[in-house]
Amino acid sequence: MTHPLVQTIRRRLADAADPEKAPQMQAYMKSAMPYRGVSSPLLKRLCRESFTAHRLASASEWQRVVLELWRRAAFREERYAAVLLTQARAYRDFQTLSSVPMFEEMIVTGAWWDFVDTLAGHNLGDILRAEPRRMSRLMRRWARDADMWKRRSAILCQLGFKRDTDLELLYDCIEPNLAHRDFFIRKAIGWALRQYAWTDPKEVRRYVKANRDRLSLLSVREALKNV
């Protein structure tokens, strides 16, 4: 039986659909899954209202509903709604190591930057702050995983950490990916370094200089963009 929150989100997305915008959004994101054509601000408002109307009582119910939205999505906005539900303030305490398998599934099956980057930078990052020792070990394993999107997630999980950045962890996640040829990995390396450069530009310049022969041109360009 479909959860009432899932029913509400699907109905409200259908009511807000814009058939003219939908194919444009799908083409921009290069998505195999179709869109409803709902703009991001409207989607966020509809989700906030739906989440308030249907409060979830436990972490297990929260995970069930997130995965129902995610796995049974017929339109990409339904998956965006699943991601927003994982980040809803009311359920912040549910983001623990026990929820990492759910995020792993979403990252691996989502397999595109719009899903992966927000899950890495927000959800994984929040759990890393709360459980630094165990999450650091896990991110180091992900940085060497066969799945490219898990590697990208490990590199990006500290995007918003600023002075709290664990440099050893960041460099340990970058190291096994220096020779990786995929655009999204090279971009992630540069992005992560560029973000830290706002905090310590001298260190980023030092790192780039020391690894210039191993970093891709894309990674170097991104890393030094604001230095």
Residues in the chain: 227
Q: Please report whether residue 24 resides in a domain.
A: yes
| CATH at residue 3 | 1.25.10.90
pLDDT attached to residue 93:
96
Tell me, yes or no, whether 124 lies in a domain. Answer: no
Rounded Cα gap, residues 157 and 173, in angstroms: 10
pLDDT at 139: 98
Mean pLDDT of 114-141: 98
Model pLDDT, residue 111? 98
Q: How many other C-beta atoms can be found within 10 angstroms of the C-beta atom of residue 40?
A: 10
> For residue 78, what are the domain limits?
1-94
* Both tokens assigned to 15: 């009511």
pLDDT value for 72: 98
224 domain residue, yes or no: no
Is residue 209 domain-resident? no
- Cα angle 120, 198, 202; round to 5: 120
Mean pLDDT confidence for 25-49: 98
Q: What is the mean pLDDT of the chain?
A: 98
**Closest listed residue to residue 118, CA positions, set 90, 147, 81:** 81
CA–CA separation, 227 vs 165, rounded Å?
A: 18
Answer whether 9's CB lies under 8 Å from 46's CB.
Answer: yes
pLDDT of residue 40: 97
In this structure, which long-range contacts are made by residues 193-200, counting pairs with CB atoms below 8 Å and at least 24 apart in sequence? 193/219, 193/222, 193/223, 194/222, 194/223, 194/224, 194/225, 194/226, 195/159, 195/160, 196/162, 196/165, 196/167, 196/170, 197/223, 197/224, 197/226, 197/227, 198/162, 198/226, 199/162, 199/163, 199/165
Residue 148's pLDDT is: 98
pTM above 0.85, yes or no: yes
Query: Does residue 121 belong to any structural domain of this protein?
Result: no
> What percent of the chain is modeled with pLDDT above 70?
100
CA distance 208 to 193: 9
- For residue 206, the model assigns a pLDDT of 98
| Count of the separate structural domains present in the chain | 1
Supply the pLDDT for residue 102: 98
Any residues with CB less than 8 A from the CB of 196 and at least 6 apart, and which?
Answer: 162, 165, 167, 170, 203, 204
